């Protein structure tokens, strides 16, 4: 039998699948034949088989580098159920357990060995590998090597040494997240210049994307679940642990089977909640982004975000956990002015070095671009990953093209109010001044005397929040590092001088109300 025939036969007899998906067959043949590979496939695309089948086809044991203990355990358990000899080494094991795994490795019976990178790089382990049969190295979640990636892990950097120490052993690096810069960095850091690149389409056509303006996130979430996903399994992502707890409680109080998950919970309870999510039907997991990597549940019907993710890569990876079975699923995100302010402040006020901040800013900007776009969401996402596409017909903007309005005048008012009040106040205060509210703070700073006091009564507070949010997202405004007050950027000038027209999403509330009553 030829290699491809053997591969197909293993796929059917051991894994129980009829056909390879996408580019799996090519990748398997290439790696089983001893070639290096870089595999880019969206979450749920079927990356694991790309190294598991070559591991079975080659002599010796495949060493799989993986960043998460939970993920290793799941994969090893799955392989055992298929009758494959696999094991992992990590810090939770006793010395005896470790020795037993090492013995199986040396004896040549073990086919797959999962390790964390820091373990792999110890002299003891490298010594073991040099004296035993290694069939290939698989580097899972390879974007962790990239400082450009959204999930940088310093331990991954050391993996470049594999190429030097084991030049004859094929290596396959896999990731679900890679814009062009991240991809280039993976190639360079892991010395994969000569590796074949297998780039799959990142499109997940069965996922419908929707991004709504935040008003009361929890209520909006509840309405979304009740209206469209009653009884479905789903994941709700929140930024903080507290918000996870509160939101899970709120959903439970409203009759939804929700469970919390975050890194601050006791390990046992976390594991129990994860098991329930995987085994029971219709559980909604409310979680921080600590949840999800390596979770393989095919029938997750929706992924909701009630806080804005920090990067488009993160967003796409998280939403990619919906609909792995190919059935219609939703990605739903609610976001508002506070999200933008908060994330910008976290970057500007953070401790990261300048270059890192610049990376974080660009990543957030890409995410904001997606949130504010009036074009097809899928096109924006795929374009970010370097893939050209047509409007999809399966996102909110395609299904209900958003209304835009001429916000040039409103933007000028907002910007000049920020300027007149000294460029150091937050959005709430700016809006009070625009609306002409004589709050204590307004009086204390004599902002009832500035020329922009009360010039914004044609819009509601919500309308102004929407304007400020979009000005921030588009980079006309920024938050200053120390106290997070709003400041103008250089690009604001032409707008302020009336040399630039600006159209924004959504009609501001008051205008809408007026229209409504006009009709009556
Ligand atoms: P990824 O690591 O890319 O997110 P996985 O390797 O976990 O994806 O695979 C996702 C799901 O697709 C798993 O349930 C897996 O068993 C299934 N799968 C992978 N390849 C195939 C195939 N050729 N045919 C059917 N199902 C597959
Ligand atoms: Zn679309």
Ligand 1 within 6 A of 118 CB?
Answer: no
Q: Among the bound ligands, name the one nearest to the CA of residue 292.
A: 1
For ligand 1, atom 9, name the residue with the nearest CA: 46
ipTM higher than threshold 0.90: yes
Ligand 1 within 6 A of CB of 298: yes
Q: Which of 7, 11, 13, 46 to mutate to test the pocket of ligand 1 (most atoms within 8 A of CB)?
A: 46
Ligand 1 proximity of 324 Cβ (cutoff 6 Å): yes
pLDDT, tens only, 501-510? 999 987 655 5
* Ligand 1 atom at shortest distance from the alpha carbon of 48: 6
Render pLDDT for 152-182 as a digit per residue (tens, 0 to 9).
888 999 999 999 999 999 999 999 876 778 8
Q: What local confidence, expressed as pLDDT, does residue 513 receive? A: 43
| pLDDT tens for each residue of 13-25 | 999 999 999 899 9
For ligand 1, whether the C-beta of 44 sits within 6 Å is: yes
The whole-model pTM stands at 0.80
Q: Ligand 1 mean position to 47 CA, how many Å?
A: 7
Residue with CA at minimum distance from ligand 1 atom 17:
46
- Ligand 1: does its nearest atom lie under 6 Å from the Cβ of 52? no
Sorted by sequence, the CB contacts under 8 Å of residue 237 that are 6+ apart come out as 287, 288, 289, 303, 304, 305, 306, 307, 309, 318
Judge whether residue 354 has pLDDT over 70: yes
Tell me: pLDDT of 442 over 90.
Answer: yes
Q: Name the strands in the sheet holding 37-40, side by side, starting at the edge strand that comes first in the sequence.
A: 86-89, 112-115, 61-65, 134-139, 171-175, 37-40, 196-199
Instruction: Point out the ligand 1 atom lying closest to the alpha carbon of residue 298.
Output: 14
pLDDT of residue 233: 98
Q: Decide: 300 and 234 in contact? Cβ < 8 Å.
A: yes
Give the per-residue pLDDT at 507.
65
Tokens standing for residue 161: 């040494």
d(CA 486, CA 472): 9
Residue 65 CA to ligand 1 center (angstroms) comes to 18
């Amino acid at each position: 039998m030829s290699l491809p025939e053997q591969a197909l036969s293993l796929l059917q007899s051991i894994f129980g699948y009829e056909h390879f998906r996408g580019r799996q067959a090519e990748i398997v043949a290439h790696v089983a034949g001893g070639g290096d590979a870089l595999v880019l496939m969206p979450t749920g695309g079927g990356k694991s088989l790309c190294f598991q089948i070559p591991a079975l086809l080659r002599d010796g044991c495949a060493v799989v580098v993986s960043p998460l203990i939970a993920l290793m355990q799941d994969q090893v358990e799955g392989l055992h159920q298929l009758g494959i000899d696999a094991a992992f080494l990590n810090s939770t094991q006793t010395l005896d357990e470790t020795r037993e795994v090492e013995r199986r490795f040396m004896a040549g019976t073990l086919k797959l060995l999962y390790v964390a990178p820091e373990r792999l790089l110890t002299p003891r382990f490298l010594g073991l590998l040099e004296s035993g049969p290694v069939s290939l190295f698989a580097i899972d979640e390879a974007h962790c090597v990239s400082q450009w990636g959204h999930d940088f892990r310093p331990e991954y950097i050391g993996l470049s040494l594999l190429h030097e120490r084991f030049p004859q052993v094929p290596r396959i690096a896999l990731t679900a997240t890679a814009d062009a810069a991240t991809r280039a960095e993976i190639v360079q850091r892991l010395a994969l210049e000569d590796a074949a690149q297998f780039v799959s389409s990142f499109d997940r056509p069965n996922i419908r994307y929707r991004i709504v303006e935040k008003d009361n996130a929890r209520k909006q979430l509840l309405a979304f679940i009740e209206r469209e996903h009653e009884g479905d399994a789903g994941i709700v992502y929140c930024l903080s642990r507290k918000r996870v707890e509160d939101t899970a409680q709120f959903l439970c109080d409203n009759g939804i089977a929700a469970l919390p998950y975050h890194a601050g919970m006791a390990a046992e309870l976390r594991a129990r909640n994860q098991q329930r999510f995987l085994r029971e039907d219709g559980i909604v997991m409310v979680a921080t982004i600590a949840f999800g990597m390596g979770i393989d549940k095919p029938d997750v019907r929706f992924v909701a975000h009630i806080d804005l993710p920090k990067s488009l890569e993160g967003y796409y990876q998280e939403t990619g956990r919906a609909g792995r079975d190919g059935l219609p699923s939703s990605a739903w995100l609610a976001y508002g002015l506070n999200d933008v302010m908060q994330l910008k402040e976290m970057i500007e006020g953070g401790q990261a070095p300048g270059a890192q901040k610049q990376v974080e800013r660009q990543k957030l900007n890409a995410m904001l671009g997606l949130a504010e776009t009036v074009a097809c969401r899928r096109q924006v996402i795929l374009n970010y990953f370097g893939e050209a596409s047509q409007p999809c017909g399966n996102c909110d903007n395609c299904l209900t093209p958003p209304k835009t309005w001429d916000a040039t005048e409103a933007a000028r008012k907002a910007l000049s109010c920020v300027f007149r009040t000294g460029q150091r106040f937050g959005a709430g205060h700016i809006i009070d001044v625009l609306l002409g509210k004589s709050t204590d703070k307004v009086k204390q700073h004599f902002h009832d005397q500035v020329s922009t006091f009360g010039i914004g009564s044609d819009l509601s507070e919500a309308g102004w929040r929407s304007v400020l949010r979009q000005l921030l997202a588009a980079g006309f405004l920024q938050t200053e590092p120390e106290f997070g007050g709003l400041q103008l950027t250089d690009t604001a000038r032409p707008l302020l001088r009336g040399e630039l027209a600006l159209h924004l999403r959504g009609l501001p509330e008051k205008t809408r109300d007026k229209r409504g009553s006009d009709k009556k």
